[in-house]
Structure 1
């Protein structure tokens, strides 16, 4: 099923590009009427994508809750939980610093290239007035709000709103409590195992419409924006994807240093979740499949179900690299010079404010807007990159999956619990 699904998603992606381009070419003529017509068509396709993403969101909260409780209960002692937690957070902090620094270095690389090719001309964009705003809510991203937001006032409310970080905290408490009460907890643990199995089965049903959702998502995006917008901001988009490729190499090199040649096997096992996250521009959409892929790769469920949910709040590598890169890019096009010390301070602020953003629409842009205001960078600069943000979000989402899968596999190896991978799935023979 996995191999066929990956093929069908790729077909959906390719058909979406062609269909979106055809619609845009047939209708787009630069008039407001044509633009509105394209938006109406895209809204129709968006219904399919939204239904798929809502089905995924329906799965995530009970899946995280059940798998995390079972994983902690099976660890057997709180010492193992503390050790795994410390190793996980250590990796996340290191990966975050690398990702943010990559964004900074990438920006300076393309800045040097532009100055070499066209000295003194900058990036040559027609800039929006600095007083314009994008209308993003920035107040939620402060250190105080982040710390207090970790703790749920109600687990029911947290699950209803898919607050992964709050679900993780409650599930840790629940798992530790079940471990402490011993045999009396067996009925609850059995119930949680059955719940996890049920949610994974539901995931299998939902994933059957993934290719259609991918087709709709890509068609709608290309229909409205066309492929020309990528050419217009080609330097920005191209440079970012080059940076993502380098970040992938760094992540897999780090994985190779810990788990060896099996790193290549890991990439093969997670290719479907990566493709799904990329084509839907949603890391969340790939969560259930990533969990299953890691299980088949040999990561014990008790580790995968603990590390992966934490990663969705603390280890969004693609998003973090983008935040540094985009913030410095906007500062540069407005001619704002930032000292090395200021850039390092910005990096550290992004290190904190980038946590816990999973599930927030355009979360990266919200964090960027909040940080820009602290350094006198006009929020209007976001209007430059908004037209291509969907394409950039696709790359960010796929990279987030890579970063979290690598982190989970590495922690399993550190714990000495990385099992042999399951053999690739064999397709059932077709009936004659």
Structure 2
């Protein structure tokens, strides 16, 4: 009898990616193909968004209630935020250094660049600035948790889930039925995740097809130097900065990337970290990180630990300055870095977050925000790369926190690694 042939999820996604690029290139500039493909891409993204909030709430409540130790949780929270701040600051510095050394904006012929309408981003940026500098602290505490869940406000959801989990732990025996309910919810949602992933190749095919048919590969030519620098710097950051960080805690970055290759390919093609959040949570737990650390660090990282996004923002800011012939002094670049550190945290969950952060930042050092219109055309292509870096960064952060807290299961990790790196 012939052995049953099975194509892995990664191979299926890769096939979807290649076919999507071919279809997009063949129908470049054809609005009709976008009309047909958009619903498929939207359905896939909506399926993922549908399960993200229930998974985060259920796993976090189970994790916190299972621990029931507010001191331990506070210690984990403090260490996590310190780690996030150090790594994202290094990402900004690496981005600034890369832009200073290679100067991608020097000599760019602005007449070749097509301007894109960024008015929607400007409106969002103005709304964020109107809220004042402390709005992030206020927004963490939801006035209406149902509204926060509907809007996907991650920080508010995390805050509520942690408080609720502590409450379940505090009432002892009476909380056990509640705990069992949320454990069952988490298990059911992970089953649903695996079901939705069967649709991933179709979603990838549609989303990449739309991107190529809309912008074409020719859009990269005038901004090729910027695209190459962004991708090159991201690869350097992953291998050197995240690689050394992982090595300090006894993790091999290359082996880790191989273990999450399916999720990275999916994140790259969809430009969405949300599409892989449930799977990354499931995998890091299987690798040996405790449930409460996984369910706290990964969702928080999606708001505070966007390494790829902050690195890109630093390069893009200097690219626009160089394009306009504006020289930024060391003091101005330090100011830019400090402002990026604050603004990149303050608007987590806002659509087009990287653009909105740059709009809120560029004016502080005298860079014309209109310059963003020139790079908006290839933002989707750059977004694919920075999404991958964000996912790798948050995966490493989870394992690092588990090791830092001395609660990492080395045996479980070794067994998972042996089973998945054959």
Aligned residue number for residue 247 of structure 2: 256
Alpha-carbon distance change, 2 to 298 in structure 1, aligned in 2, over 3 angstroms: farther
Matches within 5 A, 1:122-137: 122-126=107-111, 134-136=119-121, 137=124
Corresponding residue of 1:389: 379
The alignment's C-alpha RMSD in Å is 2.4
Question: Post-superposition shift, 1:358?
Answer: 4.3
Q: How many Å separate the matches in 1 of 2:181 and 2:40?
A: 33
Secondary structure of the structure 2 residue equivalent to 1:259: coil
Aligned residue number for residue 8 of structure 1: 12
Pairing 1:181-330 to 2, within 5 Å after superposition? 181-249=171-239, 250-261=241-252, 263-330=253-320
- What is the Cα deviation at residue 383 of structure 1? 1.5
Q: Does 1:19 align with 2:6?
A: no
Aligned residue in 1 for 2:59: 67
- Unaligned ranges ≥5, structure 2: none
Residue-by-residue CA offset, 1:127-156 (whole Å, 9 max, x unaligned): 8899x8644221243423322222211111
Compared CA separation, residues 229 and 82, structure 1 to 2 (3 A): same
Q: Answer yes or no: is 1:107 the counterpart of 2:99.
A: yes
Name the residue aligned to 1:50.
42
- Is it true that 1:92 corresponds to 2:77 in the alignment? no
Aligned residues: 407
1:315 and 1:400 in contact (8 A); partners too:
yes
Q: 1:123 to 1:4 in 2, by over 3 A?
A: same
2:76–2:401 CA contact under 8 A, matched in 1:
yes
Deviations 1:42-73 (A, max 9, x none): 23212111111111111011111110111111
Which sections of structure 1, spanning at least 5 residues, go unmatched? 25-34, 115-120, 428-432
CA distance in 2, matches of 1:288, 1:129: 38
CA 1:368–1:186 in structure 2 vs 1: closer, same or farther (change >3 Å)? same
Point out the more displaced range, 351-360 or 9-18.
351-360
Deviation at 1:109, TM superposition (A): 1.5
1:81 is aligned, of 73, 84, 92, to 73
Q: Is the 8 A contact 2:114 2:374 kept in 1?
A: no
* Alignment equivalent of 2:338, drawn from 348, 363, 383: 348
CA distance, structure 2, for counterparts of residue 199 and residue 2 of structure 1: 25
Distance 2:401 2:7 in 1: 27
Instruction: Give the alignment's TM-score, normalised by structure 1.
Output: 0.89
Q: Indicate the SS of the match to 2:345.
A: coil
1:113-124 to structure 2, matched below 5 A, reads 122-124=107-109
Superposed structure 1 runs of 4+ greater than 3 Å apart: 127-130, 132-135, 356-359, 422-427
Q: Secondary structure, in 3 states, of the residue corresponding to 2:406?
A: coil
Stretch of structure 1 that moved more, 316-325 or 375-384: 375-384
Q: In 2 relative to 1, CA 166–416 (structure 1 residues): closer, same or farther, beyond 3 Å? A: same
Deviation, 1:356, is 5.1
**Is the 8 Å Cα contact of residues 271 and 387 (structure 2) preserved in structure 1?**
yes
CA drift at 1:425: 10
Is 1:141 aligned with 2:128? yes
Asked if the contact 2:91/2:311 (under 8 Å) is kept, the reply is yes
1:382 deviates by 1.0
1:294/1:405 contact within 8 Å kept: yes
Shift of 1:315: 0.4
Instruction: Give how far 1:289 is off.
Output: 1.0
The alpha carbon displacement at 1:80 in A equals: 1.2
Displacement of 1:424 in angstroms is: 6.7
Deviation for aligned residue 1:85: 1.1
8 Å CA contact 1:274, 1:401 repeated in 2: yes
8 Å contact from structure 2 (residues 211, 380) kept in 1: yes
